[in-house]
Amino acid sequence: MQKIIPFILVGIGGFFGAIARYGVALYFSKNPTLYFPFATFVVNILGCFLIGFLSYIAIYVKIVQPEYIRYLLSIGFVGAFTTFSTFELEIYNLINDKALLLALIYVLSSIFVGFFAVRVGIYTGKLLTNSI
C-alpha cells in the first residue's frame, strides 16, 4: 500500500492541476482577438513560480512528509498545470550546479528539437490521414 500512495497523490494533484489549466484557458478565451498566447504564458510563468516555491518549501522547511508535498503539488498539480515549470527548474539546477554549457545545450536542444518534433508529428499525422 505504501508504494501506491505517491501514485494516488500525483493523480489527485494532477486532477486539480488539469482543471486549473483548463480554467485559465477558458478565462483567456473570452478575448479570441488576442494573437499572443496569454493563457499558455500565464500558466507557464505561474507554474514556474509554484514549482520554485514548492521546491523550496519541500527541501528547506522541515515538514513532516515533504515528499508528499512534492508528489501532490509539484509533480501532480504543477505537472498537470504546466511542464514548462519543470523545464525551468531543471535549467536552474544545472546553472546552480555550474553546468552552464549543459544548461545551454538543454535549452537550445529543447527548443529546436521540440519544434522539429512538432513538425514531424504534424507531417506524420498528415501522412496517416492522407492529407498531404
In a domain, 112, yes or no: no
Indicate whether 59 pLDDT > 80.
no
In a domain, 71, yes or no: yes
In a domain, 37, yes or no: yes
pTM above 0.85, yes or no: no
Half-sphere CA count of 33, side-chain side, radius 13 A: 0
In a domain, 87, yes or no: no
What is the rounded distance in angstroms from the CA atom of residue 28 to the CA atom of residue 10?
Answer: 27
Per-residue pLDDT band at 33 (split at 50, 70, 90): low
Taking only the tens place, the pLDDT of each residue in 60-83 is 776 656 788 889 998 999 999 998
Percent over 90 (pLDDT), the chain: 54
In a domain, 103, yes or no: no
In a domain, 36, yes or no: yes
pLDDT of residue 34: 67
Which class for 73: exposed (0-12), middle (13-18), buried (19 or more C-beta within 10 A)?
Answer: buried
Query: Residues 48-63: what's their mean pLDDT?
Result: 80
Taking only the tens place, the pLDDT of each residue in 83-125 is 888 899 999 999 999 999 999 999 999 999 999 998 998 999 8
In a domain, 107, yes or no: no
Helix residue spans in 29-99 (DSSP H): 38-60, 66-69, 79-81, 84-96
Tell me the chain's radius of gyration from C-alpha atoms.
18
For the CA atoms of 62, 67, 72, 74, the dihedral, rounded to the nearest 10 degrees, stands at: 80
In a domain, 121, yes or no: no
Side chain identity at residue 77, one-letter code: F
State how many domains the chain has: 1
SS3 76: helix
Domain span holding position 48: 5-82
